[in-house]
Amino acid sequence: MKIAVFASGNGSNFQALVDYFKKNRLSATIEWLFCDQPHAYVLQRAKKAQVPSTCFSPKEFASKTEYEQAILEELANREIDLIVLAGYMRIVGEGLLSIYENKMINIHPSLLPNFPGLHGIRDAFEAGVEETGVTVHYIDRGVDTGPIIRQEKVVIEKEDTLATLEQKIHQIEHQIFPEVIAKIVNMGDVNK
Ligand code: GRF
């Protein structure tokens, strides 16, 4: 199985995946990193890990449709089976969905359906809830609404600050995201 990772920023989840794939024998490879932000740190991580990467942004295209068409061409050339969104800060459009529906998974830093959107960790912290967590789910046409594959809870302690909560969440993300992907790979078919 050939996997592409999409990311927009730091790329700590991309790194966790690369490290996991190095340590464990899986019948899959991380073939490609796609990034929409030219200065994102994840591009340096990809270079270091020797994962081929491409970066372009929607600004360079007349429309989102053309932008996604360009991504789709890259995906087809590389025969990508599964897209893993790891901090890809864009709403996926119809172009990608039409080809990769049920073959695109995302990680979100809250217990969905609670706290969807860009600031899942901060929103949960500011809401004063006692627990939040991490969700891995398939992408559908909504924002953070697709079928849930796995969730893990994180308790918000009285002494937690936003920074310590972020740390806890990321730690869980780095643990469960590779596990979920390994499970999908081991099933041999992204839709079984
Ligand atoms: C993660 O918290 C992920 O859940 C969210 O974006 C963040 C990406 O972090 N979708 P990183 O770039 O992987 O460090």
Q: Parallel, antiparallel, or unpaired: how do β-strands 82-85 and 2-7 relate? A: parallel
Residue identifier of the C-alpha nearest atom 6 of ligand 1: 87
Which of 34, 107, 134, 162 has most ligand 1 atoms within 8 Å of its beta carbon, as the pocket-test mutant?
A: 107
Q: What is the ipTM of this complex?
A: 0.98
pTM of the predicted structure, to 2 decimals: 0.96
CB atoms within 10 A of CB 135: 25
SS3 37: coil
CB atoms within 10 A of CB 113: 11
pLDDT in tens, 42-95: 999 999 999 999 999 999 999 999 999 999 999 999 999 999 999 999 999 999
